[in-house]
Amino acid sequence: MTGISGSKFDINQAGTHTLVHMPRNADASKTQLKIEATIKELIPNWCAGLWIQSLKFQGTMLEDMNTVLFTTESQEANTTVKPRAIMNGREGDPAEIFAREHTEKKHNHPKGQPSTQEDSQKPWALVRKDAHVYNKYHKETAQASTQQFVDLHIGGATFVIEYKTEGIRRKGGTTLINYLNIVGTNLHTLADNMPIQNIGGLLGSDDHTWAEAKPQQCKERALKSLNEEFLEQPTSSTMSFEM
């Protein structure tokens, strides 16, 4: 994980974590932007990695979007991810949700892109398949495939959400897991000269000591045990935010 200040660390505790909270510690009515991630261990009892299962965006900066939830959707094991999004009471594939609820209905942007300078300051989203800005953070492998990207634009900042399916090679066969990655860029356009210490969340200025600490059972599990079960080390979700 890479925080706004450039600090690098791993999240080793499952649960729901606040990644960004602007301003720090603001109550719901005064929160400009809050991003939460629900992170789970998808291969139980092996401490093999943690993966993002949902990302929740909320705050006044989202304007008529209100709250947006990206999720891998609960589904049967060993099936390819079905990208899901929930916004304003609508749930479905992100391409359908953003086209119907925001792009066409609200701002009439051709192909999901803002048509005027005024529109460009409003939150909007573009769903696509290509890697685009994500390439510099991520390398595709034979065992992993991207199902969809969503570019969520809030002001001058861009959040790239990746829906991903990966095959974890184990001694007994391959296990498919579905998860999300996220990259945020140009967050300085949202901060409005706000000092970094006034931006909360694990990727902001909040302390991440607890989130970074490995659970005791993972400390006790030797790397040798992982090597006996997995043919290669699984890769966890990626989170990176830049000012």
Most confident of 1-15, 210-224, 229-243: 1-15
Whole-angstrom distance, CA of residue 151 vs CA of residue 193: 24
Count of CB atoms within 10 A of residue 215's CB?
Answer: 13
Is residue 98 over pLDDT 90?
A: no
Confidence of residue 225 (pLDDT cuts 50, 70, 90): low
Q: Determine contact, residues 109/115, Cβ cutoff 8 Å.
A: yes
Most confident of 72-76, 139-143, 168-172, 196-200: 196-200
Q: Look at the block and give the residue holding tokens 């007994």.
A: 172
Q: Determine contact, residues 37/239, Cβ cutoff 8 Å.
A: yes
Q: Look at the block and give the residue holding tokens 């600490």.
A: 213
Helical spans, DSSP H, in 14-172 = 94-98, 117-120
Tell me the two tokens of residue 196. 């970094």
pLDDT at 144: 57
Could you tell me the CA-to-CA distances from 160 to 86, 177, 187, 227 in Å, in that order? 16, 20, 13, 33
Task: Give percent helix, percent strand, percent coil of the chain, each to the nearest 5.
Answer: 25, 35, 40
List phi, psi (to 5°) of 184.
-120, 130
